[in-house]
Structure 1
Amino acid sequence: MRTLMIVFGLLLTSLAYGQEKKPQIVIQTSAECGQCKDRVEEKLNYTSGIIFAELDVPTKQLTVKYKANKITADEIRKILSDLGYDADGVKADPEAVAKLPLCCQPGGMDGHEH
């Protein structure tokens, strides 16, 4: 019986260590509207290593769950910058911002519905 308990304990330990870490982060973005939400979520949800990405437009907060052994939080912020959005302290790539529709550029909404 004792041997069985030891084997069972080792099995559980190996299963626990075999699990990938799946952290979740919340990134403050410069997203402005529903088009931004679609653009960001589509890009991230089809990026290897990202399990789930959802942008809350009113707060401009992006929640991302990802596989730490496949992608880092800094790489996620870089993807957002390359799309034309600020991501926490990482500023948006100016050329990418210029390619966004006007409503998606900083201050683009200014009270307009989109």
Structure 2
Amino acid sequence: MTVTPIDLFSSRIRLHQGGRIHTQKRRMDSDQDGWQLTAFYARTDADVHADHWEVHPEAEEIVSCLIGKIRLYLRPEQPGQQEEEIRLTAGTAAIVPRGRWHRIKLDIPSNIMAVTLPRGSRLEKRTEA
């Protein structure tokens, strides 16, 4: 097997049962089996779909700020509650619970890495102010 460098910012890495790993061009596909690692450089809130909530019903997700400063928001579980804000700086991460709606907002341009099982993942337009 030839080992070659992988551009994390243009690829997604798929982690399969049995220890097999492969890379492919990045695309949003919530019907894939296997864990997925993605890394991206975000310059604006539009790059992280800050105006949408995201949920992963099949697994928890680890969201890591590699470089920069971001805020991870968890949507309230009950009406009337406030969003939960988690501030992530370079080299820190947080685990989003399975089935919990969440979103990211940038404080400054940042490199972000996330690992989750994408099967069944959904986006929903944020309606609150």
Asked if TM exceeds 0.5, the reply is no
Question: Which protein has the bigger strand share?
Answer: 2
Q: Which TM-score applies when normalising by structure 2?
A: 0.23
Q: Which TM-score applies when normalising by structure 1?
A: 0.25
Question: Which protein has the bigger helix share?
Answer: 1
Query: Which structure has the bigger radius of gyration?
Result: 1
Higher relative contact order (CA 8 A, sep 6+): 2
